[in-house]
Structure 1
Amino acid sequence: MSRIGASALSVVLAGILALAAHTGVMLLVAAVVVVVQVMLASAPAPADSRGRAVPTPRFAVALTAGVVSTVVAVRPSVLLGADGSRAGNEGLVTNGVLAGVLPGVAAGLFVALLSQMLRKDGRRELVVSTGYATSLAMFAALVSSWVGAARAAAGQDVVTISCVALGAALLVWPLPIDRYVSAALAVTVGSGAGAVAALVVDGLPTWFFGVAVGAGIALFGVLGQVLGRAWAQGRSHVTSAGWGFPAAMAIALAGPIAYLGGQLVTASF
């Protein structure tokens, strides 16, 4: 997928995510998050030094991690223990949590190890294969950060500002100029778009919030695009970076910044 195509798809996903957050229905936000996680799970296999695909259990690993982390983000109460046991503080939080990431990665790692045990091809490149699968699990789990951002105080505004900043930055990123210049321009545009969005929304987030969060969202969105395309670099048979994978990576890496912004607004509320 070209840079233009991947960036355009990220913009579309960000727009759908903002619309889902505006409904106030967390299940809709979670549904969009799961779609992004499926796109991550569909990543191409990594390549060895010869450009050959390394057999890697990817789809089940990433999807397991993503679903587990999303369930915890939507329903933090699942972290509570049985009756009579001492409850974790995260299970009582109602303004968005990031606590599902580690359980999600742990579940994904378990599936990855189980899949490696069931391999019957000699387990070539075992360490590389497991490492890539675990990385995918982490990226998929990070997407659930958007649910935490949407559950924060003024979560709808936070997600809207974040998505506007991300979309604006990724519209600039594919420009046919030097990559460092386009990246710097994307961060600048994302920061400005975040400030404008905050003024238009006219809610709890201030224009300064829009500048700060917009810059962070733009930076990590661009990094997601770069990392997504680099994932398949060096492959001798597959020239594409996977269907939608760079686009999904931009959403995944921008998620924790949106979550952090939501928590800052919640703390000042």
Structure 2
Amino acid sequence: MTVTSRAVTTAVLAALLAVAAYLGPLWVAGAACLLTVLLAVGWARLLRLPAAGATAVVLLVAGFGGVAVAWATPDEPVLRNLPVVIALSLVLAFVAQMLRRGGRPRLVESVSGTTAGIVAAVASTGWVAAVRTDGGADLVVTSAVALAVASAVSALPVAGGWAGSLLAAALGAAAGAGTATALPGVEPVVGLLVGAVAGVVAGALRFLLDRQPALAGRLAAVAAVALPVTVTGMLVFVVGRLVL
């Protein structure tokens, strides 16, 4: 995938998430699981880690476990059991390394990369937690629209480097504020804030991954496409808890 096609695909994923939030929490949970799958299948190749299959399994367990825990928690705080999921996923990551054969080359790199992947996969749980709070569906729609706009801006030829990241953040904030004016559950100021967060994530990750040589591979590109959407989920939930 080219830089432009990755940015456009991320925008499409964010738009689909907005549609899922409109349809209901169960659809958002399904979208979070899909994001976990996309991230897991290419994460090891994105970071050029050994034992790609084991890394994918660990990330799938972490992401699905986080979504299941958030969905099964009936009242606030929705994510109170998430640390247990993260802890067990870290144990599973070490077990996966112990089961490796052939001398376990690049062990530290593999463990640290898998740990980062666990955090990224679990972050998608934030979308599920956000949509289940008061006014959460409108918050998720606002954030997802802002992320879609910011990602689309990142696809423009003039959107490279720091200037492009700032442009994505600014237009993401504007899109968030504009979307919030049409929704009853989110104030325009809140929409501006979560839109800015989504824009910063989209612009920063595009800038960060621009020169990653592994992106020439298709699976690595798939993980890079899903990463901004998964990471934004937890940030939106945190911002929503602070301002709603």
**Could you tell me the TM-score, scaled by structure 1's length?**
0.82
For residues 118 and 61 of structure 1, the distance between their equivalents in structure 2, rounded to whole angstroms, comes to 13
Partner of 1:86: none
Report the alpha carbon displacement of residue 108 of structure 1 after superposing the two structures with TM.
1.9
Partner of 2:51: 55
> Which of the residues 111, 121, 132 maps onto 2:102?
121
Partner of 1:255: 233
Determine what percentage of the aligned residue pairs are the same residue.
30
Report the alpha carbon displacement of residue 37 of structure 1 after superposing the two structures with TM.
0.3
Alignment of 1:164-203 (within 5 A): 164-177=145-158, 178-201=160-183, 203=184
1:127-147 deviation line (CA, Å, top 9, x unaligned)? 111111111111000111000
Structure with the higher helix share, 1 or 2: 2
Gaps (5+ residues) in structure 2? none
Counterpart AA for 1:248: A
Alignment of 1:32-111 (within 5 A): 32-45=31-44, 54-56=50-52, 57-77=54-74, 92-93=75-76, 97-111=78-92
Alignment of 1:106-255 (within 5 A): 106-177=87-158, 178-201=160-183, 203-227=184-208, 233-234=212-213, 239-240=216-217, 242-255=220-233
Distance 1:136 1:219, change over 3 A: same
Gaps (5+ residues) in structure 1? 78-91
SS in 2 for 1:124: coil
Higher Cα Rg, which structure: 1
Report the alpha carbon displacement of residue 257 of structure 1 after superposing the two structures with TM.
2.4
Partner of 1:18: 18
Distance 1:172 1:71, change over 3 A: same
Q: How many residues align?
A: 241
Partner of 1:28: 27
Report the alpha carbon displacement of residue 197 of structure 1 after superposing the two structures with TM.
0.4
For residues 176 and 162 of structure 1, the distance between their equivalents in structure 2, rounded to whole angstroms, comes to 24
**Could you tell me the TM-score, scaled by structure 2's length?**
0.89
Report the alpha carbon displacement of residue 159 of structure 1 after superposing the two structures with TM.
0.7
What is the aligned-residue RMSD (CA, Å)? 2.2
For residues 97 and 185 of structure 2, the distance between their equivalents in structure 1, rounded to whole angstroms, comes to 48
Distance 1:98 1:118, change over 3 A: same
Report the alpha carbon displacement of residue 36 of structure 1 after superposing the two structures with TM.
0.4
Report the alpha carbon displacement of residue 243 of structure 1 after superposing the two structures with TM.
4.1
Counterpart AA for 2:41: S
1:103-129 deviation line (CA, Å, top 9, x unaligned)? 232222122111111111110111111
Report the alpha carbon displacement of residue 261 of structure 1 after superposing the two structures with TM.
3.5
Counterpart AA for 2:205: G
Q: Which has the higher contact order (CA 8 A, sep 6+)?
A: 2
Report the alpha carbon displacement of residue 44 of structure 1 after superposing the two structures with TM.
4.7
Report if aligned partners of 2:14, 2:147 keep a CA contact under 8 Å in 1.
yes
For residues 198 and 130 of structure 2, the distance between their equivalents in structure 1, rounded to whole angstroms, comes to 13
